Chains A and B, each alone.
Chain A
Amino acid sequence: MLNYPFMQNAFAAGTLIAIVSGIVGVFVVARNMSFLTHTLSEIGFAGAAFGLFVGWTPLAGMLLFTSVSSVAVGQLSSKASRREAAITSISALAIGLGILFLSLSNQNASSATNILFGSVIGISRTSVVQVAMLALAVIVVIMAVYRSLKFDSFDAVGARVAGIHGTTLAIIFLVALAFSVSVAAQIVGSLLIFILLTLPASAAKYFAHGVGSMIGLAILFALIGVWLGLALSYWTNWPVSFFIAVIEVLFYFIGLIFNRFTARN
């Protein structure tokens, strides 16, 4: 399996995506941003379709759309009372725009399927380099603000009193999240990005109780999902995103059961 260059590329990109998703995902879950992440993935779909429409790569279009809109969406959804309605309306607009750009670009149905659900075959050596650079950028940014981000994500009240500027930190994180969404979409597709950005971290919080250990475990869960998903996809010819989804959901349910068991004891 690993003799084929496209599988080597898929494993390399998948590994990088799993690492970034594990790190960023812990903060996504702590900041209750799972729904927002889902919206960013739909914005990513619109961006990728726009990229095809204007003759760019889908990744370039995704980066443009998610980066520009992430801060706006974050601000719009800052009030809990209107969060759901604001995010839903933006999701609707993004999906509508994505369909429009795909239609205008005269691309065939397989382009749409690749953007929405990901494709193992579509990952070239150049894509791996792009993913590596973006992943590195996200990790550097997160590490630069790690302690403040940790404080603000897990105890916003305490962080405010300690003088941490929550708005600046939120903007930095949203841009890092936008980059992560664009990176993760390369494997699982824009519709299923939130699998990797939320489920491994959501499962990890039931087994680990420090931020570092949660990140480690979330990376491990994401890696197992991506590696096993790629292998199963290769052997069965079924979509990789299906296997990743099933594996990550399994981890999450095992986490829930484990939590119930330990809470009772």
Chain B
Amino acid sequence: MASNETHPKIDPNGQPDSQLTEDTIMTVDKLGMKFGQKTVFQGLTFTLKRGEFLSVLGENGIGKTTLIRILLQQLRPTAGEVSFLPSRSQVTIGYVPQFRNVDTEYPLTVKDFVGLALHDHLTPWWSKHEKQRLNQVLHETDLTRIAHTPLGRVSGGELQKAYLAQALIRQPQLLILDESTASLDNNMKFELLDLVKQYQQQTQAAVIFVTHDLPLTKKYSTNFLLMQPGPYQLGTIDQLNETVLEAAHA
């Protein structure tokens, strides 16, 4: 995605941003997806730079989650490609979904759930360094107080914070939030995104935020991608106005 200087206008035709810089972390080039005869989207092209906060907007069923699944390499696109810079293996991705299989009887504590993501070592127990990292991320996400509470017994907001903490523990360069605030009350939405913003400022990570929530988009995003039938729209957040949104719903 281009910065304000390099992408001054809304791009209604999906033209590729050819200005790759050393800050670029991901490029999406002429991406298309079909399920059978149904085209979900096509010709999607944009770049994402470190420190960017890209909100992905659009109606339900327009293909936002499909796009995320392609970025996470859970789906293979039918056209185009996604590239990570310098390479996929060198870009750590953190993902915060809206839902997970966590019910009221889910047994693990918040701390143990967050620590699941520390899966690289062979030893069954955590190393001293891993314990420090775990305590640090719990502190940063304001979860220390409930670290030993079973995850099945925490509130919806705390649950999302635990998902976020698990995504952050591996210090991702790209953080993807898939409607993570959808089921939260207003205060908790802002609290969660304040934590994301704080992490982003510390690390210059790029963030992709799939949402329907315009106030949140306007407050936290640097850029937006509006998916809609026909050409999609890309732009900086100050270009997201009523005209653009009305056109999307027309």
Contact = CB atoms under 8 A, between A and B. Distances in A.
A205 B107 contact: yes
Given A157-B97, A209-B150, A147 B121 contact: yes
A160 B166 contact: no
A165 B108 CA distance: 22
Contacts of A151: 116-117, 119
B122 A212 contact: no
Nearest to A147: B119
B11 interface: no
A209 B148 contact: yes
Interface string A145-156: 011101100111
A109 interface: no
Contacts of B125: 212
Given A155-B113, A157-B100, A147 B120 contact: yes
A233 interface: no
Given A150-B119, A209-B112, A209-B150, A158 B100 contact: yes
B124 A143 contact: yes
Nearest to B151: A209
A1 interface: no
Nearest to B112: A210
B249 to A, nearest CB: 32
A147 B105 contact: no
A198 to B, nearest CB: 14
A interface, over-half SS: helix
A146 B124 CA distance: 6
A86 interface: no
Interface in B76-105: 93-95, 97, 100-101, 104-105
Interface residues of B, number: 31
B101 A157 contact: yes
Interface residues of A, number: 27
A201 B3 CA distance: 53
A212 B117 CA distance: 16
A144 interface: yes
Contacts of A154: 108, 113, 116
A11 B46 CA distance: 66
Most chain B CB atoms below 10 A, which of A146, A158, A159, A259: A158
B20 interface: no
A206 B121 CA distance: 28
Given A147-B119, A157-B97, A263-B153, A162 B170 contact: yes
Contacts of A208: 107
A206 to B, nearest CB: 8
A161 B109 contact: no
Given A147-B121, A210-B112, A161 B101 contact: no
Contacts of B101: 155-157
Given A161-B94, A205-B107, A263-B104, 14 more contacts: A143-B124, A147-B118, A147-B119, A148-B119, A150-B119, A151-B116, A154-B108, A155-B100, A157-B101, A158-B100, A158-B116, A158-B166, A211-B112, A212-B124
8 contacts: A150-B116, A151-B117, A154-B116, A155-B116, A155-B166, A158-B95, A162-B117, A263-B104
